[in-house]
Structure 1
Amino acid sequence: MRHPYTPIDHPRVLRHLKNPRQEFNKKIIIDTDAYNSIDDQFALMHMLLSEKNRGDVSILGITAAPFYKELRNTDSYKHGMELSYQEIINVINTLAFKWNGLVKKGSVISLDETNCIPVESDAADFICEVSRSHKEDEFPIYILALGSLTNVASAILKDPHIINNLVVCTLGGVPFDFYGFKDFNYQQDINAANFVFSCGIPIVHFPTFTVTEQLRTSRWELEAHIGNSKSGKFLYNRFIEFVDEYPGSNKQIWDLAPGAWIINPDWFISKINTTKKFTFDNVWKTSPETHPLRSILWLDRDSIFKDFFTLINK
């Protein structure tokens, strides 16, 4: 599924897969299906507060990713994107400071439906425009892809040369040698996922089960540490609305992981691997169209939540 006019530059891919250097400013785009669950809201807040309080993170824009999920009463992929767009605005409106960044609407259908013809959207256009204006000798732009990969894949299909300036930090699936768990993000648009994993763009892969699922919190931890700010109360209420309460209950806040890696890669253990193909039965298979990627193997859950709670109480 690789674009026929973009031979893979393996040295460039490996160069861009190096851990982000903390002393340099990291430019990011956040692509999020924010209404799909409640972890995106935590991740968005973490990065917005990081940009405000740190000198090494710049958010170039936020793009709304589509999704379809009966649990969230969506009636279409487009409806999920629209709800996500509004939820991004809801998160921003809780901030104690004015954030003047860009928020763009994403795809209304999947590449599964278009047979890999790119989906036109403000999000895809924005990703292309930002990448084109970025100098190749600078550090890459990091896309925190927290949902399906439709927006990202569509942007690359529209302009294959943008892969030279981007790194996709994507959360979904399981480790390559793992079986037996269902995926959500990649199953939403398997054509998009497989195109991104084969097109030659540098990828940092954050598996869900066994890795980012370690990022669990509970009502009781939030009550103790999230504070009384408007932002803290918003996240707490979203958590209570979504998570069933019973002794020992908790919830994965998976989407904190990609942004946390940008902030401090020392909180993670990872290795350089090679890309694979994702199947409809949630299995990774060897593909002839491979290139290097970075696989996240482990994360320091406590350090990540400590950073999050510190920022939201400033």
Structure 2
Amino acid sequence: MTTPQAIIDRFPKLDEALVEARLGRPGDRPRVIIDTDTANEIDDQYAVAWALLSPERLDLEGVTAVPFSFAHHRDELIASVDALKAAQAEGDTDHFMGGLGGWAERLVAQDKRAEDVNFVSAEEGAELSYQEILRVFDKCGVPSEGKVFRGTPGYLESLEQPIDTAAARFIIERARAEDDRPLYILAMGALTNIASALLMAPDIIEKIVVVWTSGFPSYAPFSNVPSLNLVQDRLASQLLFDCGVPHVYLPGYHVGAQLKLSLPEMERFVKDKGAIGAYLHHLYTNNPLHEMFAITDRETKSWVIWDIINVAWLFDESLVSTHLTRSPLLDDDLSWQHPEGRHLMLEAYDLDRDAIFEDMYRAFERAPA
């Protein structure tokens, strides 16, 4: 269900001039928390490493772990594989339209069963993310003590029941800190930690800016179901667009999707950049989603490093093009609606792919052995 008015009424109503100011460019070395499902695939690791290797450009106060799981695809994937096999048995695959058709086709072509695909639970994903954050800190030679926090083991089931975790409490604590600077939360996964913090302490919207990547542009006519970051916790996603918190929205499709990285680039610009470069190269060449999605001919495939868009926006206004617009309403089908009277948000519509990677590569040059 969309966010009830009684929940929205708990949040302070921010003056539009304040919101517009918050959505302007960050000052020098802005205060930052990174909220990330780091073990989900391989892109968050690049984003966290870029931030850790750029201490002169941000004041990184901490990193919070986010749950993740692809298990919501299980039933549809099994049904798609069964439908494809039935079509093949009848000699007709020309019109196969399974919802996860490409994935199903690869599994069938490799004689693999959908039932055997390993889907971690959200709780397992949260712990894997926590451990992966620690690993990236270590590879970058940055101490992690007091900087990394476990997040929620699952997703919101009710807006009346936020999930009280170390991550949510850390977000609240830092938002309420005696500091005139706003706190930027770079959100790179499901919004459960952030939504829980907002529900536990609605006053923090006066001090934070949420920078989130997910979904389609707010003007797109499509359902956002394909967006993993958005679909996993529907209540949290709806709350972000409804509660009035200053919000920088960075669509994955088809803005962040431009951030493709190839194996030759990895080997030329990343592989030999210290322990973190070697680790990122290992992840690229041992991508867990290649196995999950049954992807073959991997050396010819590029990969989207989605979540570096958050860091790019924070660091340099020339890297990500944005415009002020009105926050849409995310309906129960996860499509955009545009009622009157909505608050402002900042939305990306393009980026400079080459300049973003060049900036990140320069940071990797500073990586310790």
Is the TM-score greater than 0.5? yes
- Paired residues of 1:3 and 1:157 also in contact (CA < 8 A): no
Tell me, yes or no, if structure 1 residue 5 matches structure 2 residue 10.
Answer: yes
Query: What is the distance in 1 between the residues matched to 2:302 and 2:178?
Result: 41
Identity over aligned residues, as a percent?
A: 32
- Paired residues of 2:140 and 2:276 also in contact (CA < 8 A): yes
Q: Residue in 1 aligned with 2:317?
A: 265
Q: 1:77 to 1:97 in 2, by over 3 A?
A: closer
Matches within 5 A, 1:77-156: 77-111=122-156, 113-135=157-179, 138-156=180-198
Q: Residue in 2 aligned with 1:186?
A: 230
Query: What is the distance in 1 between the residues matched to 2:42 and 2:299?
Result: 20
Tell me, yes or no, if structure 1 residue 45 matches structure 2 residue 49.
Answer: yes
Query: What is the distance in 2 between the residues matched to 1:213 and 1:179?
Result: 18
Query: What is the distance in 2 between the residues matched to 1:60 and 1:115?
Result: 27
Query: What is the distance in 1 between the residues matched to 2:251 and 2:169?
Result: 28
Query: What is the distance in 2 between the residues matched to 1:69 and 1:105?
Result: 20
Larger Rg: 1 or 2?
2
Query: What is the distance in 2 between the residues matched to 1:187 and 1:212?
Result: 17
Structure 2 SS opposite 1:59: strand
Tell me, yes or no, if structure 1 residue 250 matches structure 2 residue 302.
Answer: yes
Unaligned runs of 5+ in 1: none
Structure 1 position 287, deviation (Å): 4.3
Query: What is the distance in 1 between the residues matched to 2:162 and 2:141?
Result: 38
Structure 1 position 73, deviation (Å): 3.7
Q: Residue in 1 aligned with 2:20?
A: 14
Query: What is the distance in 2 between the residues matched to 1:101 and 1:35?
Result: 20
Query: What is the distance in 2 between the residues matched to 1:11 and 1:139?
Result: 16
Query: What is the distance in 1 between the residues matched to 2:219 and 2:255?
Result: 13
Structure 1 position 19, deviation (Å): 1.7
Which of 34, 40, 46 is residue 38 of structure 2 equivalent to?
34
Query: What is the distance in 2 between the residues matched to 1:117 and 1:202?
Result: 23
Tell me the matched-pair count.
306
Q: Normalized against structure 2, the TM-score is what? A: 0.78
Tell me, yes or no, if structure 1 residue 213 matches structure 2 residue 257.
Answer: yes
Q: Residue in 1 aligned with 2:276?
A: 231
Unaligned runs of 5+ in 2: 74-116
**1:175-232 deviation per Cα after TM superposition (whole angstroms, max 9, x unaligned):** 0122446111110111001111111110000000110111110111101111421100
Q: 1:119 to 1:178 in 2, by over 3 A?
A: same
Task: Give the letter aligned to residue 4 of structure 1.
Answer: D
Task: Give the letter aligned to residue 150 of structure 2.
Answer: K
Structure 1 position 158, deviation (Å): 0.5
Structure 1 position 115, deviation (Å): 4.4
Shifted more, 234-243 versus 58-67: the winner is: 234-243
Q: Normalized against structure 1, the TM-score is what? A: 0.91
Shifted more, 180-189 versus 229-238: the winner is: 180-189
Structure 1 position 74, deviation (Å): 4.5
Structure 1 position 279, deviation (Å): 3.6
- Paired residues of 1:170 and 1:206 also in contact (CA < 8 A): yes
Structure 1 SS opposite 2:286: helix
